[in-house]
Every structure is written in C-alpha cells, then in structure tokens.
Amino acid sequence: SVPYTLLREVNAWYGSFLFWSVGTVVVIGINVVLTREWKD
C-alpha cells in the first residue's frame, strides 16, 4: 500500500502544477486580448 505521507506529497505537487498551468493559461489569454485591442 502507498503511505499517506507520500500520497499527500504527490497531491500537493499535482495541485501546485495544476495551479501554475491554469495561471499560465489565464495570463496568456489576457495578453492575447490586450494585444488584440492594441492592434485595433
């Protein structure tokens, strides 16, 4: 069986990775919108 501490570490790493992935996508999306408005 997998120790709970190891499982918790994996969940923390995955949660951090998911958070940064979503944050990166949001920032890129904002940059695309701002750049599109500046060109117009």
What pTM, to 2 d.p., does this model score?
0.57
CA dist 35 and 29 (Å) reads 10
Q: What is the band of 39 on the pLDDT scale with cuts at 50, 70, 90?
A: confident
- Angle 11-22-33 from CA coordinates, rounded to 5°: 175
Is the pLDDT at 32 greater than 90? The verdict is: yes
Q: Note the pLDDT tens digit of each residue in 4-30.
A: 777 777 778 888 899 999 999 999 999
pLDDT given for residue 20 in this prediction: 93
pLDDT given for residue 23 in this prediction: 96
